[in-house]
Structure 1
Amino acid sequence: MKRSRLLPAVAATAALALVAGCSSDADSDAPAAASSGAFPVTIDHAFGSTTIDAAPERIVTMGWNAQDILGALDITPVGQPKYTYGADENGVMPWAQEFYDADATTLYEDPAAGEPDVEALATLAPDLVLAPYEGFPQSYYDTLSAVSPVVAYPGEAWQTTWQDQTTMIGEAVGKPTEAQALIDGMGQRLASEAEANPEFAGKTVAVVNLDTDTGQANVYMPSDPRVQVLNEMGFVNAPGVVALDEADSADTFFSTVSLENVQSFDADVIVAFTPEGYDLASVPALATLPAVASGSAVALSDEQVIAGLSNVNPVSTPWVLDRILPQLKDAATKAA
């Protein structure tokens, strides 16, 4: 999870000045905008609520997923994060290339530790910032809200379901019906995969990110969309993962455990994010897991595939399922 970075009051003042200086020029070349038929609309989130009075014309997205959902709704943001992990050379994820227009959308730096710089976002003159998944503190929200209306995450940071993200974005841009169609379409895809792969039903699953430098594993909790999308295809959460979640008083989306305690994420099927060439069976602690011994552990090292499973939305998920379903099917069969 990103660490919070508090911004001084002067940043908000400078940001407001930048907006004032850019707004008149920005309106003349705004990219594809939202619908105008569902406003005003008020959207509740973790920091209260945000009212959007009219169809936004200059949308900036933060974090994962929002720009993909906008693209599927035929809306072009004026700004979105520039990705490095899993992205193509232009800083855009492979499944979203068809939506990206370099002449209309600015890619801004999204630091790995801390929030995007408010002044940099302000230069884009946004009239709406979409961040229904990205985690940040109240202080950052307050500073950013001085620049533009912000739709923040509704509950815990980094734990908004893909359905809620899609619904919130659809409401914010005046396309709730189209957003519901995206939800229905992806729901049907997941249901069809569950039906086509009955071996998934009832198999316990754990999704982990193996940190080979520290000898630890980050185990994703049931509230994480990576886990939820597998649940929707029939997998159930491993008892050890549920126990880790119940013991976590911080309501985070992952729990870090030592590889000495690998039994805490023992499951019929383990989906593990690993470095290239990493052999699970070569690690003594991991070799003790039945899933590793039986071949029902799926090791994913391709950064684009890992990013695809980590960015859960109606655009990215079908793309990544096409690439990992054979491995999931093989693993579930071996676990039978």
Structure 2
Amino acid sequence: MSPVGEHATTVRRTPLRLLLAGLAALLVLAGCGGGGESSGGGASGETRTVESERGPVQVPAAPQRIAVLSGGLAGDLFTLEAPVVAADPRVLGVQNDASGFPPSWSAQAQQQGTARLASEGAGLSIEQVAAARPDLIIGGGQGFTAAQAANAYPQLQQIAPTVLLPAFTQWQDQLTRIADVVGRADRVPGLLQAYQDRAAQVRGALRVPPQPTVFLYQARDGKSYVITPTAALPRIATDLGFTADDVITKADNPPLFGTGDSFEVSQELLPRVADAPTAIFVPIGQTPLDQLRTNPVYARLPAVAANNAYEVPSSSFRPDYQGAMTTLDTFATLFR
């Protein structure tokens, strides 16, 4: 079970005949309304085939009304300047601003008039998705929203072409795949180059603390988790000259959580596994590092005792493109 409820799979289901009747009514209204937009086709009517977790899917060549069922995927769509008509705003460990969207893409969502598909603690609403009249639905990725989309896939297909993406470990792979699905692959090289340029700039100005480094978070239930060296955050740190500690060996090859980017460690074993001279914490469970310093278990860690423990935003754990860029800026500030 996820420490932050990632395996919750609530889906508000509607009998199929009622759903189809509702969809038919929505399509009639769409045809009578302004703009001439309809569900299931792009502005040009042309389609292309892309890969999905459920096999090849024909999607609009130039989608005009995209519904994205995972907040972890939505940010990349806004980065690509794709038209997002509706989005699930929930991102692991991130608190939304007054608009109800994550701060990193709140402005774009408001500018586009993007509708929120779910509120905190709510499940996937098929009715909400249908009401948005999307011509393309994108789901999958990491976390409980991926399970929700998978469970609702037959119903979602009745609304619009639906692409379920795999759980990416690295933000570069996610960005590239999303860009391919929405026909904006030409934008990816420039974005990747911008990241590389910024990483080189930050790396050249950093004071790298004692190495290696361990990456940690505490879940809402108080359990301790260690982030694996191959996860996105340690990879970004590696780009900046850090060395991720071999925590897998120290923990005797533990069972990995989720997509393999972290594992649970008992309070008894944590001092042994997280004994690196530098530690980076992610406040996914909403417990800041300053509070963890007063916890006797964390206070025993060498990095905490030596004041070589640092905090990065929750968006750094499983970052999208903007999350990766923000992480670079955070490192630039922490390690000048």
User: What is the Cα deviation at residue 83 of structure 1?
Assistant: 4.3
Q: Which residue of 1 aligns with 2:24?
A: 20
Q: Does 1:173 align with 2:161?
A: no
Q: Does 1:257 align with 2:265?
A: yes
Residue correspondence of structure 1 range 61-210 to structure 2 within 5 A: 61-83=68-90, 85-101=94-110, 104-109=113-118, 111-112=120-121, 115-131=123-139, 133-135=141-143, 136-137=146-147, 138-154=150-166, 157=167, 159-197=168-206, 199=208, 203-210=211-218
* Gap regions ≥5 residues in structure 1: 331-336
The TM-score normalised by the length of structure 2 is 0.78
In angstroms, what is the RMSD of aligned CA positions?
Answer: 3.5
Distance 1:49 1:282 in 2: 52
Q: Which residue of 2 aligns with 1:296?
A: 308
Work out which of the residue numbers 284, 294, 306 in structure 1 matches 2:296.
284
- Aligned CA distance change for structure 1 residues 134 and 18 (closer, same or farther; 3 Å): farther
SS at match of 2:268: helix
**Quick one: percent identity of the two aligned structures?**
21
Distance 1:53 1:119 in 2: 22
User: What is the Cα deviation at residue 218 of structure 1?
Assistant: 2.0
1:199-235 CA-partner distances (Å, limit 9, x unpaired): 27x9323222224753x21222344323332233232
Residue correspondence of structure 1 range 31-46 to structure 2 within 5 A: 40-46=47-53
Distance 1:238 1:60 in 2: 39
1:294-316 CA-partner distances (Å, limit 9, x unpaired): 1111145xxxx32x324522323
The TM-score normalised by the length of structure 1 is 0.78
SS at match of 2:61: coil
- Given that 1:47 and 1:152 are in contact with CA atoms closer than 8 Å, whether structure 2 keeps it comes out as yes
Q: Which residue of 2 aligns with 1:57?
A: 64
SS at match of 1:101: helix
User: What is the Cα deviation at residue 79 of structure 1?
Assistant: 0.3
Work out which of the residue numbers 260, 277, 292 in structure 2 matches 1:268.
277
- Given that 2:14 and 2:126 are in contact with CA atoms closer than 8 Å, whether structure 1 keeps it comes out as no
Q: Which residue of 2 aligns with 1:229?
A: 236
User: What is the Cα deviation at residue 13 of structure 1?
Assistant: 4.4
Counterpart of 2:178 in structure 1: which amino acid? I
Q: Which residue of 2 aligns with 1:334?
A: none
1:132-159 CA-partner distances (Å, limit 9, x unpaired): 52443443334433332222223xx3x4
User: What is the Cα deviation at residue 177 of structure 1?
Assistant: 0.7
* Gap regions ≥5 residues in structure 2: none
User: What is the Cα deviation at residue 109 of structure 1?
Assistant: 1.0
Distance 1:309 1:186 in 2: 14
- Aligned CA distance change for structure 1 residues 143 and 246 (closer, same or farther; 3 Å): farther
User: What is the Cα deviation at residue 320 of structure 1?
Assistant: 4.4
Counterpart of 1:145 in structure 2: which amino acid? Q
User: What is the Cα deviation at residue 187 of structure 1?
Assistant: 2.8
